[in-house]
Amino acid sequence: MLAGDNPTDCTVGDVTFEPGCRNNWHSHPGGQLLVVTDGQGYYQEKGQPAQLLRAGDAVSIAPGVVHWHGATATSLFTHLAINPNASQGVADWLTPVTDEEYRAAHE
């Protein structure tokens, strides 16, 4: 988890994306930890190249970092989403990831 976190002030979700599915751009006031448990997916921070994630990978996302994540076009993508500092809010949802942005993740 992230430094200074209270381990009891969190939410944990087991999330599965179907092939080609992704969430919107968003951020987490208290940060987030993703732990990939199955399949392949993408994680991208605004203004940075997308990263391909596979089972066993983990991503620590600092508070307020705008990002998205989702499945590749051909694979399910399952991860644990751990949201520390949940009392600060779990997510701030923003605009959809466009088809063009999603296609660019494949390059």
d(CA 11, CA 82): 6
d(CA 2, CA 32): 8
Is residue 61 one of the residues assigned to a domain?
yes
Is residue 94 one of the residues assigned to a domain?
no
Tens digits of per-residue pLDDT, 32-47?
999 999 999 999 999 9
| pLDDT at 106 exceeding the cut of 90 | no
| pLDDT score of 8 | 85
Is residue 54 one of the residues assigned to a domain?
yes
Q: What is the residue-wise DSSP string for 61-93?
A: E-TT--EEEEE-TTS-EEEEEEEESGGG-S-EE
Number of domains the chain is built from = 1
CATH of the domain at 49: 2.60.120.10
Rounded average pLDDT over 47-68 = 98
Tens digits of per-residue pLDDT, 92-103?
999 999 999 999
Rounded average pLDDT over 3-23 = 88
Rounded average pLDDT over 47-73 = 98
| Residue 15, token pair as written in the block | 């999330």
Is residue 75 one of the residues assigned to a domain?
yes
Domain range for 63: 31-86
| Residue 84, token pair as written in the block | 């520390």
